[in-house]
Amino acid sequence: MAVGPMTAQAFFVLTALADGPRHGYGIVKEVADLSQDRVRLKIGGLYGVLDRLAVEGLIEPDREEAHDGRLRRYYRLTSEGRRALAEEAELRAASARVVRARLGPSGAEAAG
């Protein structure tokens, strides 16, 4: 179960896994693509995020495959991870609606 607010790294890792299992490098690349390079994970940092998400029950190992003499571990969302991601997406969307309403038409133009 998730504890505390979800970081951008965790949000995008879960999003990267939403359409199926991925291995570490695949997650790093997908997170960069999904976030339009706003979130860039290094492999060492990725495994810290993956470990925390696994402890929280949001992801789990899917399988291991040999690739060029090395094992690649794939991860997948759990049902709890899918629920937490959906809740976080709704929270972020609701927050964005509040900000857009506060900015009004002239505030949105000034930001762009």
Count Cβ atoms below 10 Å from residue 59 Cβ, excluding itself.
25
- Alpha-carbon distance of 67 to 9, in angstroms, equals 26
Distance CA 4, CA 82 (A): 17
* 103 Cβ contact partners less than 8 Å away, ≥ 6 residues apart: 110, 111
Strands (E), the chain: 22-23, 59-67, 70-77
**pTM, entire model:** 0.86
Cα 32 to chain centroid distance, Å, stands at 10
pLDDT, the chain, mean: 91
CATH classification code of 8-101: 1.10.10.10
pLDDT at residue 112 above 70? no
Among 11-15, 68-72, 84-88, name the one with the lowest average pLDDT: 68-72
